Amino acid sequence: MRFVWAVLAFVLAAVLIGTGIAQRTIFLGPKDVSVTLTVKAPQAYTVIDSAVLRAHPGEQTIVVRGEGPVFVAQARTADLKAWLSDATYNRITLGKDGAPSARVVEPTVDSQDAGAATRNPAGSDLWLDSNAGKSSLITSVQVPEGVSVLVASDGKTDAPTDVVVRWPLDQATPWAGPLMVAGGAFLLLGLILYVLGVRHARRGRGPRRKAPPPLPVTEPIDMASRHEVEEEPADQAPQDPPAETAAQPDGPVRERRAVPARRRRALLLIPAVGVTAALLSGCSPDIWPQPATSPTPSPTETKVAESGQQAPAVTEAQASRILSSISATLADADKNLDAAKAETRLDGAALEARKTAYAVRKSVADFALPATIPPDKIKILVPQAYDSWPRTVLMLVEHGADETVAPLIMTMTQSDPWSDYKISSVAEMQAAAKLPNMAPAWLGAKLTPPDSPFLLAQPDELAAQFADVIEKGDKSEFHDEFDKAALDFVKSVQDSRAALQKALKDANADTTSSLTFAAGAGSETPVAMSSIDSGAIVAVTVQDVQTIKPTSADAVIKLDQNPSAKALTGLDQSATGFVTTYGIQLFFAVPAQGSDDKITLLAASQQLQSVTEIK
């Protein structure tokens, strides 16, 4: 009976192992599903709609082949439409039958640029991500709803038309592993039963005695023969070979040894274990059932999206790429004192400060340039939640691991879909400054209107109020609205003015010339990014103007001791005098109207903006 059970175990093992192997071989379906995207009339740009890319679940692999440069970018569908609004392009969407179809989209707005039809998409700040290749490109994406893909060459030639999108198919066979393990177990059981059956059969025969052979007939004994036998030498007597030896035909006699029964059984178990291990070795986890996992609850956000909330201007990855590009551009501009290159990434007071610094640096080698923009480590990112343009982003950036250099807070703005982001305000953080609670990057924040009455100070009046405190000190009506850090900065400006007056007096020039100061609001529009507590971070510019002119008809103002003014004016002296303007870029945390908190100075930077002769 043991042999019958052993045979049944072998059959079951073969069926189970064969079924498990079949699931991973002949019954295993294709690895992916693919679709070829075609267009009837090639254009410079092709947009693959989000619905096409999400037609199947899983990560999308886009294969593009062309005869020249290949460029693929991801962007919000609305942003792509805006970027292509002045150009003709192909758009591939899903038809009613579920198959992709292409149609040509004509421009919807007048071209903002005569070269719009040949605009190179590479390097645009609008893309969430992008990849480029020489003649072919394979990139894997997983676009969410509302994100489409742009395929192009260099904007001059037609976009590649050989485009294939692939989606992976689920090749998990969760029962293949258990089936092969069960098959190995039955194989092992069959071998055990077989060994036990053989052992039982051998023991069942038992020891059996044979009947003695018939006795020979008694005959007379020949005494002479018996005597000869007895006298034969013992060493010549024939001897039978041992029962457990056998002669080898061409070698010495070797002893035969019986293999122990336990060893034979162990050898029989090795094939079963080896077969199972060989089947399971190298198998991926998808051959096993995966336990059902409940989704991990995400931490509660500080702020939830409001109804109708618009998308943030940039993502964290996008902002990091933009910052890296700005940093590289400005580093090259600083090295070559190239104001035109700096203008591609700066605007407003930040641009004016750098242009002035470049002009002075060409004549004064030790003149300090404005702070360098670090390429990474964005500590705080607050993009504007806005679907149109211009778009603004607030960032707090650290200088890598160097904690001795003050972090920079800055605002950058993109004026339209075709423009790059430009930094308009940048300042060094105060030592003890702490930003108010801001909306997370994935949500974005709203810009507070310049004339908002819901803040302790309207953004468009804040610069003038702070300038009034600089001019009047504690006599200003706005003095008590600012915190200690702001008042300390005011004192430093007043001390600097006093030092210049003293220097003029020490040189005995105060009798022949006059030095006056005036602080006022800059011409830049303030930027106010709302905070969670209904306040805002407001970036403003204050101008500190110094005017020196002779008080005597015979006196002149010389620039011997002022090389920067000499470099900017190209003059050694003037009979009318000079006006020197310093730009002070400031960031304040302004609380909501009715709050007991004060307006807090977060960051400040002061740079020379201009020196002009009085006409």
pLDDT at 58: 86
Write a three-state SS string for 552-606: CCCCCEECCCCHHHHHHHCCCEECCCEEEEEEEEEEEEECECCCCCCEEEEEEEE
Are the CB atoms for 396 and 409 separated by under 8 Å?
A: yes
pLDDT digits (tens, 9 = 90+) for 184-202: 888 888 888 888 888 878 8
Pairing of strands 32-37, 408-414: unpaired
pLDDT at 14: 87
Structure tokens at 570: 């190209």
pLDDT at 19: 82
Rounded Cα distance between 181 and 277, Å, is 9
Report CA torsion sign: 488, 492, 497, 499: positive
User: Residues 6 or more apart from 218 whose CB is under 8 A from it?
Assistant: none
pTM (predicted TM-score): 0.77
pLDDT at 408: 96
Structure tokens at 228: 């000869």
- Exposed, middle or buried: residue 316 (CB in 10 Å: 0-12, 13-18, 19+)? middle
- Give the residue carrying structure tokens 């579920």: 98
- Give the residue carrying structure tokens 């700005």: 326
User: Residues 6 or more apart from 451 whose CB is under 8 A from it?
Assistant: 458, 459, 460
Phi-psi region of 229 (alpha: psi -120 to 50; beta: other; left: phi over 0): alpha
- Give the residue carrying structure tokens 């993009």: 383
pLDDT at 426: 96
User: Residues 6 or more apart from 504 whose CB is under 8 A from it?
Assistant: 510, 513, 515, 548
The residues that bridge with 8 in the sheet, in sequence order, are none
pLDDT at 17: 84
Are the CB atoms for 409 and 602 separated by under 8 Å?
A: yes
Structure tokens at 547: 């005017």
Structure tokens at 393: 């982003």
User: Residues 6 or more apart from 418 whose CB is under 8 A from it?
Assistant: 83, 112, 113, 116, 119, 124
Q: For the stretch 585-602, what's the b/e string if a residue is b when 16 or more beta carbons lie within 10 angstroms of its beta carbon?
A: bbbbbbbbeeeeebbbbb
User: Residues 6 or more apart from 262 whose CB is under 8 A from it?
Assistant: none
User: Residues 6 or more apart from 127 whose CB is under 8 A from it?
Assistant: 73, 74, 75, 121, 150, 318
pLDDT at 92: 95
- Give the residue carrying structure tokens 């693919």: 34
CB neighbours of residue 136 within 10 Å: 12
- Phi first, then psi: what are they for 599, rounded to 5°? -70, 120
Q: What secondary structure does DSSP assign to 493-543, as a single string?
A: HHHHHHHHHHHHHHTT-TTTEEEEEEEEE-SSPPEEEE-TTS-EEEEEEEE
Rounded Cα distance between 301 and 288, Å, is 36
Pairing of strands 45-48, 89-94: parallel
- Exposed, middle or buried: residue 561 (CB in 10 Å: 0-12, 13-18, 19+)? exposed
Residue ranges of the chain with per-residue pLDDT less than 50? 114, 224-256, 258-259, 261, 265-269, 272, 297-303
Are the CB atoms for 476 and 595 separated by under 8 Å?
A: no
User: Residues 6 or more apart from 80 whose CB is under 8 A from it?
Assistant: 47, 148, 150
User: Residues 6 or more apart from 60 whose CB is under 8 A from it?
Assistant: 53, 54, 140, 141, 142, 143, 165, 166, 167
- On the CB side of 38, CA atoms within 13 Å amount to 3
pLDDT at 93: 94
pLDDT digits (tens, 9 = 90+) for 525-565: 999 999 999 999 999 999 999 999 999 888 899 998 899 99
- Exposed, middle or buried: residue 342 (CB in 10 Å: 0-12, 13-18, 19+)? buried
- Give the residue carrying structure tokens 């500590």: 379
CB neighbours of residue 138 within 10 Å: 15
pLDDT at 560: 87
